[in-house]
A and B are shown apart, each in its own frame.
Chain A
């Protein structure tokens, strides 16, 4: 559970920011308004989170608020895992 943020950071770096160093992608870096995650990338991230943590993200939960930062995604995952 402790590594959720690091898992997410590594996934986003590998998939959508190839070549970027981890220190530039902060827990509160906006992902949606910055263009790092477009709509397709967000869907992929939702699928990653679902498979990685064995949770189901409802369509309305895949919102800008829940997926705009690494810490927001972590909060969603934690709330889902209870």
Chain B
């Protein structure tokens, strides 16, 4: 099968009465219910003029309704564009405008996010005004779509995930059904899912971890337990939820797993159902991983690696227990069977053991950034007739453990699994009326992973307070991009060519007096 909607439809035929998806408030949908509702959403979208290839924006809290909307969009032949529904309105508008969405689904508490859309659907309310605005109940009452509006093609766009862009504008990673199903099918071959599994869905839908969370269980007739954002951040509540839901496969960033190990009180609950723990998005500090494994000794642990652009492309099984004397982070491992990897230094393949940039090819690799042909061209190379994506990550092959992640040569960092272009934070700071200059650097931190330092120049008479800058950033950036530390400088250090001297800035913020 090479279309994500096929997974749901095939599982509905095999397991119509099994639970497909559940919310913590104990709302659940069987396969038959989810499939029927999604087909009505698709019927509504097609009646509203949404055509195959169109984009539909989703600014929704994560629950069974949002999942229904996802499949409604896919059944209509369109692509979904999920965003953080709690995020700054201006950033969401930029994203929806960038890929020109034909319809927007949002929640009544953020109804203005859908202003100006050709079609908008507002969840969480029974009353809406305007001819192009509809309630969720009206959509679910619509006549079902009778047949797919076009022949399903693996090359059709399935979804666009927006990531931080260095110029201050988020960039849309476009993924086709072939890209996604190639990855999902690989998951099937390695993690042996069955209809008896219960998968966690911790990551939000705008984060690429959600692709495994949603489609692997639904392909196999298993259940996905959708964890809303607030529950997902509370280790004690989450620890109870995982036990009581008898989750069998957990997938998240290391950050929340570390919090579960530290604050979750995992010894109080029964985790005998948990068979597999997957993590991805950033390096899992060994000390924190050891603490987690000591409390959850029995599941199989895997480190998955891959930028949004490639889906997961390398992986490593982590042998347990974690030895007491191990300090070195675990490898990102070997390429998945649907991918190939190449390590190049200045265009030449390196000897095993030497550092180089990791390039990936295969069916799971994305087709391009939405509306950015030049940037797309700049991240691919062609070699022996194959298109290779430059991950920008520096790796080194270590014996038979596979690749070790070394770092990056550009200004992108990872924090709590999210990619952050430091330039995007700078662009935000420059919007502040009192800031004349801004430069952002990041330093590794044993506890926080990365600490982000914003160095700003502002005239003394109108210098904002740090509290004011925090508030300003929270209004203009996603929460995970808010700098940890603000440093006021009289001027930014410059190189001889008058560029910001980031090395000097790093020395400045790293010195104890800063």
Binding site for B on A (CB under 8 A): 16-21, 24-25, 29-30, 33-36, 38-40, 43, 47, 59-60, 62
Q: How many A-B residue pairs have CB under 8 A?
A: 52
**Given known A34-B471, A35-B474, A59-B236, contact A19–B486 (CB-CB < 8 A):** yes
11 A-B pairs whose Cβ atoms sit less than 8 Å apart in the complex: A17-B467, A25-B467, A33-B474, A34-B470, A35-B479, A35-B482, A38-B479, A39-B234, A40-B259, A43-B263, A59-B234
Partner of B470, one of A36, A39, A60: A36
Min C-beta distance of B109 to chain A, whole Å:
14
Contact between A19 and B466, CB atoms less than 8 A apart = yes
Interface residues on B, range: 20 to 34
In the bound assembly, the distance between CA atoms of A24 and B465 in angstroms comes to 7
B interface majority secondary structure = helix
Contact between A18 and B485, CB atoms less than 8 A apart = yes
In the bound assembly, the distance between CA atoms of A21 and B237 in angstroms comes to 35
Contact between A62 and B234, CB atoms less than 8 A apart = yes
- Chain B residue nearest to A36 (CB atoms) is B470
Interface residues of B in 458-481 (CB under 8 A from A): 465-468, 470-471, 473-474, 479-480
Partner of A39, one of B233, B468, B474: B233
Chain A CB within 8 A of B235 CB:
yes
Contact between A19 and B485, CB atoms less than 8 A apart = yes
Contact between B237 and A59, CB atoms less than 8 A apart = yes
- Chain A residue nearest to B239 (CB atoms) is A59
Contact between B466 and A24, CB atoms less than 8 A apart = yes
Binding site for A on B (CB under 8 A): 233-237, 255, 259, 263, 416, 448, 465-468, 470-471, 473-474, 479-480, 482, 484-488
Min C-beta distance of B284 to chain A, whole Å:
15
The interface residues of chain A lying within 8 Å CB-to-CB of B473 are 35
A interface majority secondary structure = loop
Min C-beta distance of B368 to chain A, whole Å:
33
Partner of B259, one of A19, A30, A43, A60: A43
Min C-beta distance of B115 to chain A, whole Å:
22
- Chain A residue nearest to B471 (CB atoms) is A34
Contact between A24 and B467, CB atoms less than 8 A apart = yes
Give the top 8 A-B pairs by smallest Cβ distance, nearest first: A35-B474, A59-B236, A39-B233, A20-B466, A24-B465, A35-B482, A34-B471, A59-B237
Min C-beta distance of A43 to chain B, whole Å:
6
In the bound assembly, the distance between CA atoms of A17 and B467 in angstroms comes to 8
- Chain A residue nearest to B236 (CB atoms) is A59
Min C-beta distance of A32 to chain B, whole Å:
9
Residue in B235, B467, B480 with the greatest tally of chain A CB atoms within 10 Å: B467
- Chain B residue nearest to A33 (CB atoms) is B474
In the bound assembly, the distance between CA atoms of A62 and B479 in angstroms comes to 18
- Chain B residue nearest to A24 (CB atoms) is B465
The interface residues of chain B lying within 8 Å CB-to-CB of A34 are 467, 470-471, 474
Contact between B235 and A43, CB atoms less than 8 A apart = yes
The interface residues of chain B lying within 8 Å CB-to-CB of A39 are 233-234
- Chain B residue nearest to A21 (CB atoms) is B465
Contact between A20 and B485, CB atoms less than 8 A apart = no
In the bound assembly, the distance between CA atoms of A18 and B465 in angstroms comes to 12
The interface residues of chain A lying within 8 Å CB-to-CB of B448 are 40
The interface residues of chain B lying within 8 Å CB-to-CB of A25 are 467
Contact between A17 and B233, CB atoms less than 8 A apart = no
The interface residues of chain B lying within 8 Å CB-to-CB of A30 are 471
In the bound assembly, the distance between CA atoms of A20 and B469 in angstroms comes to 11
